Amino acid sequence: MQQAAFVSSAPAVPPSGWVRRFTPVLPPGLCLDLACGGGRHTQWLLAQGRPVLALDRDPAALHALQQLGAETMLHDLESGPDGVHWPFGEHTFDSVIVCNYLHRPLFPHLLASLKEGGLLVYETFSDGNAQFGRPSNPDFLLRTGELLQQMQSNPLVQMQIIAYENGVIETPKAAMVQRICARRTSALTEQDSLCLRTAVL
């Protein structure tokens, strides 16, 4: 009951301005809110009439998000033998949102999980955030330029960068963040990828 009360009112932390900025250009269709937490972005997207699949390993808000109309998945993305457990196989989404969560081995899966034309909107803390508090552990901080580099982490997926920023934000609290919006472009075949790698060598 308490959980439902929490999510049926406006979330305590408003949705990220980066997510709000790109919401109008998200392709129609299912958006995956990865590591959704309390669901501030899931709620925002549902309010804009967007269907959402909200995933988190913490069940706290999932039931209430389901009551609001989201599909939900309780899942630990880091539970596999190599520290990664991607639960969607070959399934693809029209858009994926990740905010304030970083687990580097997931990037190749994230890119492959986008449909052609699908949009990735990613924002999280970056190097330099320690001056503002936590997170300060480098495992949870993007290195300079890293989001741009991660857009090439899957040789079978081509991403077109739409917007990228790295700097200080003031709200909801001061933090150093990196954020990107990128679109998956035409799929590369294994053969294309081999040619590209050969060309680079």
Ligand X SMILES: C[S@@+](CC[C@H](N)C(=O)[O-])C[C@H]1O[C@@H](n2cnc3c(N)ncnc32)[C@H](O)[C@@H]1O
Stretch that binds ligand X, among 2-10, 74-82, 146-154, 179-187 (CB under 6 A): 74-82
CA distance 180 to 162: 8
Residue 76 found at the interface with ligand X (CB under 6 A): yes
Q: How far, in whole angstroms, is CA 122 from its chain's centroid?
A: 5
By CB under 6 A, is residue 137 in contact with ligand X? no
- Of the candidate spans 88-96, 98-106, 148-156, 170-178, the one that interacts with ligand X by CB under 6 A turns out to be 98-106
Q: Which of 137, 136, 128, 138 is nearest to 169 (CA)?
A: 128
% helix / strand / coil in the chain, to the nearest 5?
A: 30, 25, 40
The interface with ligand X within residues 180-199 (CB under 6 A) comprises none
Rule CB under 6 A: say whether 58 interacts with ligand X: yes
Determine which helix (DSSP H) or strand (DSSP E) holds 150, and give its type and residue range: helix 146-150
Q: Up-side HSE of residue 127: CA atoms within 13 Å toward CB?
A: 6
Binding mask 140-159 for ligand X (x = CB under 6 A): --------------------
Binding status of residue 118 toward ligand X by CB under 6 A: no
Total residues interacting with ligand X, rule: CB under 6 A: 13
The reply to whether 31 sits near ligand X by the rule CB under 6 A is no
**Is residue 96 a contact partner of residue 110, using CB atoms and an 8 Å limit?**
yes
Whichever of 35 and 142 has its CB closer to ligand X, that residue is: 35
> Least separation, in Å, of the C-beta of 42 and ligand X?
9
Of 14, 21, 28, 57, the one binding ligand X (CB under 6 A) is 57
Which tokens in the block code for residue 105? 């081995």
Cβ proximity to ligand X: between 97 and 114 the closer is: 97
Q: Which is nearer to ligand X, 4 or 84 (CB)?
A: 84
- What does the alpha-carbon distance between residue 144 and residue 88 come to, in Å, rounded to a whole number? 30
Structure tokens at 162: 């739409």
> Per rule CB under 6 A, is residue 100 in the interface with ligand X?
yes
* Residue of the chain from 26, 30, 32, 35 that contacts ligand X (CB under 6 A): 35
User: Rounded to an integer, what distance in angstroms lies between the CA atom of residue 166 and that of residue 195?
Assistant: 33
